[in-house]
């Protein structure tokens, strides 16, 4: 029996407010609320939905939430569930990034964020370990991960190209064909109508910005739209692309600000990919102040999350078929293996930005860089070790709080 809209809204509001700790914790909260505490979804329905969402670009936890709402109450239910998963964290992020923009360059605040940055390094390392242990079970997958790392770190290949090559490699390899593949429900007209509607909504603000001559907002909208299409593998994989494009190519923000943004995103409810909101806001702020910052932040949110509704509402009627396709599954496994290499590259990039003041090219003519060991920041290294210890005992939000205070305390004690 489907829940009423008021009951659905109440439950998904609670899910949105409790969705701290990254996708694993968020999916666990949804499982408890939707499968264990009330019989809205069966175990099989939940797991099949999760597999489906992992096939899609974008934040899988937000898309799982949207799909659950769609299954319970159709498109309106999906909209309610998806928006309630995103909006609380987005509101908190706007407040945090505004405070950061105003006070982030004060020495005491910089010291607070040094502790947060040190914790972010450990969190990314933990994510790399968990994903690698789960994913790299065959020599082939180790090879894909290593190739992706070398392609990004040493040669600076674009992140989307690495993902496309991994997907093509996985899909074109010989696979065992399933004999029980269910046929998709023929809904071509409805599917095309859904694609047309949500594609129009997706690009409407970009077209409006173009008509108004707001070239920077057009650039922001197109950049995060492209990100929405290639963002397989979660927020950490997306960060690698953003670091490569927003920091190095566009020069919108600095490497240190990128790490700070991830630290702030870890403290908010909602999907970790809200770090994109931080990047868009700070890009606008660095260029022209608060007004453009809010416009860029809103453009970023729109072009990050509207595509998620497009993917879900278009593909949801075909979940049974999509999740049983062997070549799609093989492509997804290859992408996931490549993501391990992508996150390894991200962790190394973050670590060099936090721990070392200077870097130099590994070889002349190649974009890869290595740290100058004599420029190490011993305070940052010590804070990283402390955060690794605290994370074995405390939750992530509490550890981030303790490490921020530790960073401030270290700045007062050390010269």
**Residue pLDDT, tens place only, 265-295:** 877 888 888 989 999 999 999 998 899 999 9
Tell me what pLDDT residue 20 has.
67
Does residue 186 have a pLDDT over 60? Answer: no
Backbone angles phi, psi at 234, to 5 degrees: 90, 180
Does residue 136 have a pLDDT over 70? Answer: yes
Does residue 61 have a pLDDT over 70? Answer: yes
**Residue pLDDT, tens place only, 351-360:** 888 889 888 8
Banded model confidence at residue 24, pLDDT cuts 50, 70, 90: low
Here the contacts of 393-399 (C-beta below 8 Å, separation 24 or greater) are 395/21, 396/20, 396/21, 396/22, 396/119, 396/123, 396/266, 397/20, 397/21, 397/266, 397/267, 399/119
Give the integer Cα–Cα distance in Å for 53 and 41. Answer: 16
Tell me what pLDDT residue 196 has.
96
Does residue 69 have a pLDDT over 60? Answer: yes
Give the integer Cα–Cα distance in Å for 210 and 219. Answer: 10
**Residue pLDDT, tens place only, 367-390:** 778 888 889 999 989 999 999 999
Task: Identify which of 272, 242, 274 has the alpha carbon closest to the alpha carbon of residue 258.
Answer: 242
What percentage of the chain carries pLDDT values higher than 70? Answer: 93
Estimate to the nearest angstrom the gap between the alpha carbon of 239 and the chain centroid.
7
Check residues 137 and 209 and name the one with the higher pLDDT: 209
Beta strands in 17-96 (DSSP E): none
Does residue 56 have a pLDDT over 80? Answer: yes
Largest CA distance in the chain: 69
**Residue pLDDT, tens place only, 114-123:** 888 888 788 8
Q: Which residues contact 1 (CB under 8 A, 6 or more apart)?
A: none
- Number of Cβ within 10 Å of residue 340's Cβ equals 27
Check residues 58 and 146 and name the one with the higher pLDDT: 146
Does residue 40 have a pLDDT over 60? Answer: yes
Query: Among the listed ranges 27-41, 42-56, 189-203, which one has the minimum average pLDDT value?
Result: 42-56
Tell me what pLDDT residue 137 has.
86
Task: Identify which of 2, 233, 274, 20 has the alpha carbon closest to the alpha carbon of residue 134.
Answer: 233
Tell me what pLDDT residue 184 has.
52
């Amino acid at each position: 029996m489907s829940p009423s809209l008021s009951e659905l809204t109440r439950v998904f509001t609670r899910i949105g407010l409790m969705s701290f700790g990254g996708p694993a914790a968020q999916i666990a909260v949804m499982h408890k609320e939707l499968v264990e505490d009330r019989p809205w979804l069966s175990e099989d329905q939940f797991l099949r939905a999760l597999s489906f969402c992992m096939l899609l670009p974008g934040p899988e936890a937000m898309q799982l939430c949207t799909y659950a709402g769609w299954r319970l109450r159709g498109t309106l239910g999906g909209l309610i569930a998806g928006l309630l998963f995103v909006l609380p964290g987005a509101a908190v992020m706007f407040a945090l990034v505004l405070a950061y923009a105003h006070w982030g360059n004060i020495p005491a605040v910089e010291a607070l964020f040094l502790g947060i940055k040190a914790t972010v390094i450990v969190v990314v390392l933990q994510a790399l370990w968990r994903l690698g242990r789960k994913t790299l079970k065959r020599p082939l997958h180790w090879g894909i991960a290593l190739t992706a790392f070398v392609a990004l770190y040493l040669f600076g290949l674009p992140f989307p190209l690495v993902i496309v090559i991994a997907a093509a490699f996985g899909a074109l390899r010989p696979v065992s064909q399933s004999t029980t593949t269910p046929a998709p429900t023929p809904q071509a007209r409805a599917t095309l109508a859904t694609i047309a509607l949500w594609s129009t909504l997706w690009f409407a603000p970009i077209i409006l910005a173009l008509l108004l001559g707001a070239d920077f907002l057009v650039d922001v909208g197109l950049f995060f739209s492209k990100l929405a299409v290639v963002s397989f593998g979660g927020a950490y994989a997306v960060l690698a692309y953003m670091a490569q494009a927003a920091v190095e190519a566009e020069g919108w923000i600095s490497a240190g600000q990128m790490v700070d943004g991830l630290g702030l995103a870890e403290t908010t409810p909602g999907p970790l990919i809200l770090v994109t909101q931080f990047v868009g806001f700070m890009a606008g702020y660095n260029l022209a102040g608060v007004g453009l910052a809010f416009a860029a932040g809103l453009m970023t949110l729109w072009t990050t999350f509207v595509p998620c509704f497009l993917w879900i509402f278009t593909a949801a009627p075909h979940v049974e078929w999509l999740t049983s396709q062997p070549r799609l599954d093989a492509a997804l496994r290859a992408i996931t293996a490549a993501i391990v290499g992508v996150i390894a590259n991200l962790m190394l990039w973050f670590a060099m930005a936090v721990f070392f003041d200077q870097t130099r090219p590994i070889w002349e003519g190649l974009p890869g860089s290595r740290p100058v060991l004599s420029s190490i920041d011993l305070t940052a290294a010590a804070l990283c070790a402390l955060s690794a210890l605290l994370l074995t005992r405390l939750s992530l939000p509490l550890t981030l709080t303790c490490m921020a205070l530790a960073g401030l305390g270290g700045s007062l004690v050390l010269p």
